[in-house]
Amino acid sequence: MRINHSGEVAAQALYQGQALTAGDAAVSAAMHQAAAEETDHLAWCELRLGELRGRTSLLNPLWYAGSFAIGALAGALGRGTNLGFVAETERQVESHLRGHMERLGDADPRSRAILEQMAQDEMRHGANAASLGGKELPFPVGAAMRLTARIMTRSSYWL
């Protein structure tokens, strides 16, 4: 759950950075709406972490700052790229959440319910971004995003 919490910290920052530089009122509003929903996800993860007697990642300030900068860059690259970045991010997050649910199985129905709702919301965010004009990102960008996510999840697990 710590990894999911860190992901939500990063998601808020991405959306806030993207909204700041979007240059398009409709896209900025969509980013602010998605960031608000990510705030709910963050609260759910933090509450569940407390119930499990866990803690948040010590690296969360780094994830926030880096993600905000990446989001601001994506927003500055224009509407299609900005929204394409959202769509790709949400595809990858939904895949991560599905994998987490598979590993979790039926062992923790409360965590599973949280992850299921988050996955549904992430799919909706991605679909919204695509419907607003998100462009498919080049393969190297998606690969770099996957690598970054892998580094983030592995380090957040331990720190």
**Comparing C-alpha atoms, which of 84, 94, 96, 149 is closest to residue 124?**
94
**What is the number of alpha carbons within 13 Å of residue 56 lying toward its C-beta?**
18
Q: Residue 22 maps to which CATH number?
A: 1.20.1260.10
Domain with 122 in it? 2-158
For the stretch 99-156, pLDDT in tens is 989 998 888 999 999 999 999 999 988 998 888 888 988 889 888 888 888 898 899 8
* pLDDT in the model for residue 43: 93
* pLDDT in the model for residue 107: 87
For the stretch 40-70, pLDDT in tens is 999 999 999 999 999 999 999 999 999 999 9
Number of domains in the chain: 1
